[in-house]
Structure 1
C-alpha cells in the first residue's frame, strides 16, 4: 500500500533560501510546493497541505494575510512563519494572525527540519486520536469538547485553532496546576527552543481574547509571574 504523501506549502520570495529549504525538507520525504509570490500562493490555499511555511515579507499578498486566510480555511493545519525581522512586534503579529510557530532569519536548516518534524508528529497524533473518545470538560458555562475540538461558553461556540484548543484542554485537565512556558512548548508544540516564549504567550493572549470578559484581568487563564500559566475555575 502506498504511503500517503505529506505536502508542504512554502512561500518565500528569496529563491536561494526557498531552494535550500525545499531541498532539505525533501530529504525528509516531504513534497514541497514552492511559490515566490504571495498572490500566486493565495490561490493555492484551498489545496490539501499538511503544513505551510510563509515568509512575512512577500510581493503581492504578504505572509500575514496568507496565514490569516489559511487559518480560516483550515484550523488544524500547522503554520510556520519566517521573518528577517527580530522585533517582538513582528513575531507577535505572525502568531496573532494564526501561526503556530516562527523562525527568525538567519536560521539553522537543522532547526527548521526539527520544527517541521515536531509539528507533523503532533498533526499525526491528532489525526490518530480523532476516533478516540476523550473526556469532555465542563466548568460552569464553559465546555471543552476534545472530540469535536469545540469550545462553548454560555451556549456560544468559540472559534479556536488546534493549538489554542490543545493548550486550553491541557491546562484545564489539571486546574490550578502551574506549567512553565517550556513545559507547554514541549507538550503542545513538541519542542523546546530558547526564545520561543512568544509562541506560548501569544496563544494564551488569543485564548483570553475569546474566553475572558476582561482579558486584562483573566478569570480562566491566570499568569503566575516568573513561572508560567494555570487554568483557574
Structure 2
C-alpha cells in the first residue's frame, strides 16, 4: 500500500524535523515546507493527503495559505500555532482548518489527531461502492456514499470535518447531540476542554447550507443542550 503523504509547514526547522521524525516512525511520507508560498508549490507538484500548517510564518502565513488551499482542495488541514486564545482558534478554523493544535504540543497527540483526520479523509473519498444512502431533509440532500451535499439542487462544498458533523446529525434526525458528544464522535478523541471548535464548524456549515444562518432551518440549536437536525 502506498504511504500517505503529509505536508508539514512551519518556519522553525526544529519543529519541522521533530514532526517529521514522529510521522516517519509511523510509516508516513513527510514533505517539509518553511512557509505558505513553499507549501503551495509543493501542492502543485506532489500528492498530499494531509497538511500540518503553522499560522505565524514569513512571506505567506498559515491563514492566507489555508484560504488558498481550500479554493480547490479538501484534504484535512491541522493548524499549528503558539497562539492559544479562542479568537485565534476561531480564525484558523473559519478559514477551513479541520483541527487546531497549540504549541508547545505533545508530538504523540499530534500524531493521534493526524491519524483521526486521515481515517475520515479516506473514508469520505473512498471509491468502493456501497449501498446507496441518501438523506433528504426538505431541500437539503446528503449522499452518504458519494459524500455530496446539495441544497435546492446546488452542490455545496464541505470540508471532511464539516461533512462528518452534518452526516452525524442528519443520520440521527431528531436526536440532540451535545458539543462534547459531537467532538468525541467526529474527532474520535476524548473531549478535554471547552474550546469553540465544534461551534465554529457548526457556524461554517450553516453559512453554507442555510438560507439565513441566523435562523437555521436544518441545524437547530437546543439551548443549553446542543444541536440537532429535524426530519
Between the aligned partners of 2:130 and 2:26, the Cα distance in structure 1 is 29
The corresponding residue for 1:11 is 9
| 1:126 shift after superposition | 3.2
| 1:128 shift after superposition | 4.4
Between the aligned partners of 1:14 and 1:32, the Cα distance in structure 2 is 16
SS at match of 2:174: coil
SS at match of 2:42: coil
Q: Select 1:109's aligned residue among 107, 110, 115.
A: 107
Between the aligned partners of 2:73 and 2:215, the Cα distance in structure 1 is 31
Between the aligned partners of 2:128 and 2:51, the Cα distance in structure 1 is 22
Q: CA 1:226 to 1:130, structure 2 compared with 1: closer, same or farther past 3 Å? A: farther
Between the aligned partners of 2:152 and 2:63, the Cα distance in structure 1 is 31
Check conservation: 1:38, 1:66, Cα contact below 8 A: yes
| 1:29 shift after superposition | 0.9
The corresponding residue for 2:160 is 162
Between the aligned partners of 2:64 and 2:126, the Cα distance in structure 1 is 30
Q: Select 1:42's aligned residue among 25, 40, 61.
A: 40
Are residue 177 (structure 1) and residue 175 (structure 2) matched?
A: yes
Normalising by structure 2, we get a TM-score of: 0.92
Q: Select 2:92's aligned residue among 74, 77, 94.
A: 94
Check conservation: 1:119, 1:190, Cα contact below 8 A: no
Between the aligned partners of 1:147 and 1:85, the Cα distance in structure 2 is 37
Check conservation: 2:184, 2:191, Cα contact below 8 A: no
SS at match of 1:73: coil
Check conservation: 2:116, 2:188, Cα contact below 8 A: yes
Normalising by structure 1, we get a TM-score of: 0.91
Q: Select 1:204's aligned residue among 202, 205, 213.
A: 202
Between the aligned partners of 1:59 and 1:127, the Cα distance in structure 2 is 33
Between the aligned partners of 2:123 and 2:143, the Cα distance in structure 1 is 17
Q: CA 1:8 to 1:203, structure 2 compared with 1: closer, same or farther past 3 Å? A: same
The corresponding residue for 1:150 is 148
| 1:130 shift after superposition | 4.3
Check conservation: 1:84, 1:106, Cα contact below 8 A: yes
State the superposition RMSD in angstroms.
1.7
**Count of matched residue pairs:** 230
Q: Deviations for 1:181-231, whole angstroms, at most 9, x for unmatched residues? A: 222222222222423642211111011111222212222111222322111
